[in-house]
Structure 1
């Protein structure tokens, strides 16, 4: 059985957030605004880093992202197809 690393987890969560955001037709900037992050380039850059697996959001921000996307927070942890 393959062991997963922290990098795998960051990547999986990020890609699942990206998928949910795109399905909602939402920009990174709009998602940042809805999460209470800065409503500027820095806010969208944070979302970009999360989606690319370069940054893992805090539990608070992870739940804010899930609420903004109207999805269950645990859906972000599902393996990619």
Structure 2
């Protein structure tokens, strides 16, 4: 997580077998962001479930304006 005066940027390097449709980002009460990446079709062959819970302590963040992009390299970038 990189923090700036007016925003935060979260970057996550995901394995190549995780596609954008396998990622869920949700906002929770208490200024929390949950990121789940799950290759459910591969669960028998590998550990393919990843989950992060990020808490923000700043009252000035706007979790209604979360934007995410998935780059071809497998990098997930989330702007808060």
Q: TM-score, normalised by structure 2?
A: 0.26
Structure 1 or 2: larger helix share? Answer: 1
Q: Which structure is richer in relative contact order (CA contacts within 8 A, separation 6 or more)? A: 1
Larger gyration radius, structure 1 or structure 2: 2
